[in-house]
Structure 1
Amino acid sequence: MAPALALLLLCQVALYTTVTSKNVCGRPDVADGIEELTLNRVYEVGDQVNLVCERGFLPSTATPRKLTCTDTGGWTPSDLACSPKMCPIPRPLQPLAMGRTEAPFKSVLNYTCDDGYVMQGANESRCSHDGTWSNPPPLCKAVNCPLPKSPRDGRIVFDKPVTGSTTMYGQGWTYECNPRMAPSYERGSCMADGSTTEPPLCREVSCTIPTGIPNGFITFAVMRQHGYKETVKYACNEHYILDGEAEIQCQNSGNWSSKPVCRVPCAVGIKRGRIFYNAKKLWIGDLKPNRVLHGEHVAFYCLNRAERCGYPVASTCNDGTIPIPECFEEPGKVEYTLRAKTLPSEITMCATSPPARPA
């Protein structure tokens, strides 16, 4: 029994050796765009494969490329290349495509409309295998709103003329009330969802007796309560600069709009030295009175020790304060009196100013 079993095992080994010793080729590696569904997993030596492009791709040659399975288990080379077909990008969209005029097969265009516009058509289009888009570009149509309702005891003033029974998205208007009355809010519009602002309430509104401002005064006003949209005007004392709107208005909230501020002039805080002010070079003693208005600029002269030259650094008067640049060194009495020509303001000016630390 044992010899028969040994013979059977030897036959099986011989059979296995005979089958597996024959070289075969696996599925060939192909480039993108080449049809793979028709390829087998295993080929015998001498088998040939015709390579073709997938639908939606163009071959680099008119004749099919053939591959042959060689006895080494490899494939003969092929130079077939498949490029995707192109769809022309609609001209209005080309600026958004960074100058491109075509898109390759399988590309997708997604469309959106701005707020206040409704899309008519498909919001997506795909580049098809035949070089056309699956859907044309949609249209974005502006939302229409019904005409707004006027407030009781008031009316509506449109920003632009309106015709018909509707108005377009973005159209705005102002609500006005009869004399001595104010709307609870003043503005309305046609909104993105196609609705309009509800009309406000008209009610009597008054503002308290206006008060003065530091370093300024009310130019003319009767000291009484004021009604909606009545105004009061302010001015500043001499040498003070008005910052803000000179005229304030009684608002629909019953409060005044913001009052202006009178900004304080500055005194230049050095005793000795020269400055550049109002397009003139002045010794500080010649600045009479020592006063610079809010917002005006003054240049101080600093020394570049490495180059032995002077350079100006500007500073600005801000509500009573004018900072002195850190690089400025005020000369002593002797230097200022006897050696004034050696000061940074009097020596050669630097060709370029070094970066100065902020004043």
Structure 2
Amino acid sequence: MAPALGWLFLGLSVLSTTVTSAKVCGRPPVPDGVDASSLKRVFEVGEEVSLSCGQGFVTSAATSSRITCTATGEWTESNLACAPKMCPIPKSLQPFALGRTEAPFRSVLNYTCDDGYVLLGANESRCLHNGTWSHLPPLCKAVTCPLPKPPREGRVIPDRAVTGTTTIYGQGWTYECNPPKAPSFERGSCKADGTATEPPICQEVSCSIPTNIPNGVITFAVMRQHGYKEKVKYACNEHYTLEGDAEIQCQNTGNWSSKPICRAPCTVGIKRGRIFYNTKKIWIEDLKPNRVLHGEHVVFYCKNEAEKCGYPVASTCNDGNLPLPECFVEPGKVEYNLKAKSLPSEIRMCAASTARPTSSARLS
């Protein structure tokens, strides 16, 4: 009996070896864009598969699309490459596309409108497999508001002529009251939510007796309290420069609008040297009177020691202060009187590349 049992074990061993030696291939890996919808999960050795680009993709080059399951359980290689189809970006959107004129398959355009505008159409569009967009670009239509209501004792003055019974977002208007009353606020508009500003209240308003300004005077005014929109005019003392509006107005808040400022003239703070001022090159002792108005420019001359040449540096009078350029060196008495031709203002002027402009100044 023992030899028969031995043959039985041997037969089972041979049978087992035959079954486990068979190989199969799993589902082949495919690059993006290849159609994998018809691929099985398991393939026998020797089976062939013909790959193709899926919907929305095109073959980007001449390629081999057939692969075979080998005895090692691996697939032969394929160099099939699939590129997405492109959708042309609508011309109205190209300024926002950073130079691109196309978008690939599956791209999504999201649309929104600015505040005060309503979107008409789809707020999203997708690039389809056939190279077209799923929806046309929408329109942004301005919100409309009903016509504004006037105040009880006044009227509405629109910025632009109004026709019909509505206005559109952004349109504005001014409220006026019957004199001498003033509106609690002066401006209204059609708002983003489709409502018009509610009308103001008309009320009595007065501004205090106007006062003078430093280095200036009131040129036209009665010294009393003033009503809404009444005006007062100012002027500056001689040689002072007026900055701001010469006229101020009594506002609906009971306050005056901003008063102007009188800016002081400057003195050129050197005893010796030559300057360029008011289109002329002059010695400082010939500047009579020694006065430069606020905002005017004075050019001083500096010296480039390495190149032995002079160059101009400008300074501006600012409310009584005229800074001297850091590079400016005032000459001594002997140099100024006996060697005037060697001063920076009198020698050869530097070329622009050899000058040394200064970015700061020191006070005189």
Computed over aligned residues only, the root mean square deviation of the Cα atoms, in angstroms, reads 2.7
For 2:311, give the aligned amino acid: Y
Deviation at 1:354, TM superposition (A): 1.3
Q: Distance in 1 between matches of 2:3 and 2:185?
A: 111
Inter-CA distance 211–39: structure 2 relative to 1 (3 Å threshold): same
Structure 1 counterpart SS, 2:324 = coil
Deviation at 1:28, TM superposition (A): 2.7
Q: 1:126 aligns to what?
A: 126
C-alpha deviations, 1:25-70, integer Å up to 9, x for none? 4433322110224333443321111212222223458999321123
Q: Distance in 2 between matches of 1:180 and 1:102?
A: 64
Inter-CA distance 94–357: structure 2 relative to 1 (3 Å threshold): closer
Q: 1:177 aligns to what?
A: 177
Q: Distance in 2 between matches of 1:191 and 1:296?
A: 46
Structure 1 counterpart SS, 2:35 = coil
Q: Distance in 1 between matches of 2:197 and 2:135?
A: 37
Inter-CA distance 334–159: structure 2 relative to 1 (3 Å threshold): same
Deviation at 1:167, TM superposition (A): 1.0
Inter-CA distance 91–342: structure 2 relative to 1 (3 Å threshold): closer
**Matches for 1:197-276 after TM superposition, within 5 Å:** 197-276=197-276
Inter-CA distance 349–88: structure 2 relative to 1 (3 Å threshold): closer
Structure 2 counterpart SS, 1:219 = strand
**Matches for 1:81-160 after TM superposition, within 5 Å:** 81-160=81-160
Structure 1 counterpart SS, 2:109 = strand
Does residue 288 of the first structure (1) align with residue 271 of the second (2)? no
Q: 2:341 aligns to what?
A: 341
Deviation at 1:22, TM superposition (A): 4.5
Structure 1 counterpart SS, 2:329 = coil
Structure 1 counterpart SS, 2:94 = helix
For 2:360, give the aligned amino acid: P
C-alpha deviations, 1:109-156, integer Å up to 9, x for none? 111112111112221111222333222222221111011111011100
The farther-off stretch of 50-59 and 182-191 is: 50-59
Deviation at 1:19, TM superposition (A): 4.6
Contact 1:57/1:84 (8 A) holds in 2: yes
Deviation at 1:79, TM superposition (A): 3.8
Structure 1 counterpart SS, 2:310 = strand
Contact 1:275/1:300 (8 A) holds in 2: yes
Inter-CA distance 322–63: structure 2 relative to 1 (3 Å threshold): closer
Inter-CA distance 67–283: structure 2 relative to 1 (3 Å threshold): same
Inter-CA distance 222–42: structure 2 relative to 1 (3 Å threshold): same
Inter-CA distance 17–313: structure 2 relative to 1 (3 Å threshold): farther
Q: Distance in 2 between matches of 1:212 and 1:229?
A: 19
Inter-CA distance 101–340: structure 2 relative to 1 (3 Å threshold): closer
Contact 1:67/1:78 (8 A) holds in 2: yes
Deviation at 1:208, TM superposition (A): 0.7
Q: 1:355 aligns to what?
A: 357
Q: Under a length normalisation based on structure 1, what TM-score does the superposition of the two structures give? A: 0.91
C-alpha deviations, 1:311-354, integer Å up to 9, x for none? 11111000000001111111111111111111111111111221
Overall identity of the aligned pairs, in %: 73
For 1:122, give the aligned amino acid: A
Q: 1:56 aligns to what?
A: 56
Q: 1:307 aligns to what?
A: 307
Contact 1:52/1:64 (8 A) holds in 2: no
Q: Distance in 2 between matches of 1:200 and 1:78?
A: 78
Structure 1 counterpart SS, 2:70 = coil
For 1:277, give the aligned amino acid: Y
Unaligned segments of structure 1, at least 5 residues = none
For 1:249, give the aligned amino acid: Q
Q: 1:32 aligns to what?
A: 32
Q: 2:44 aligns to what?
A: 44
For 1:188, give the aligned amino acid: G
Q: Under a length normalisation based on structure 2, what TM-score does the superposition of the two structures give? A: 0.90
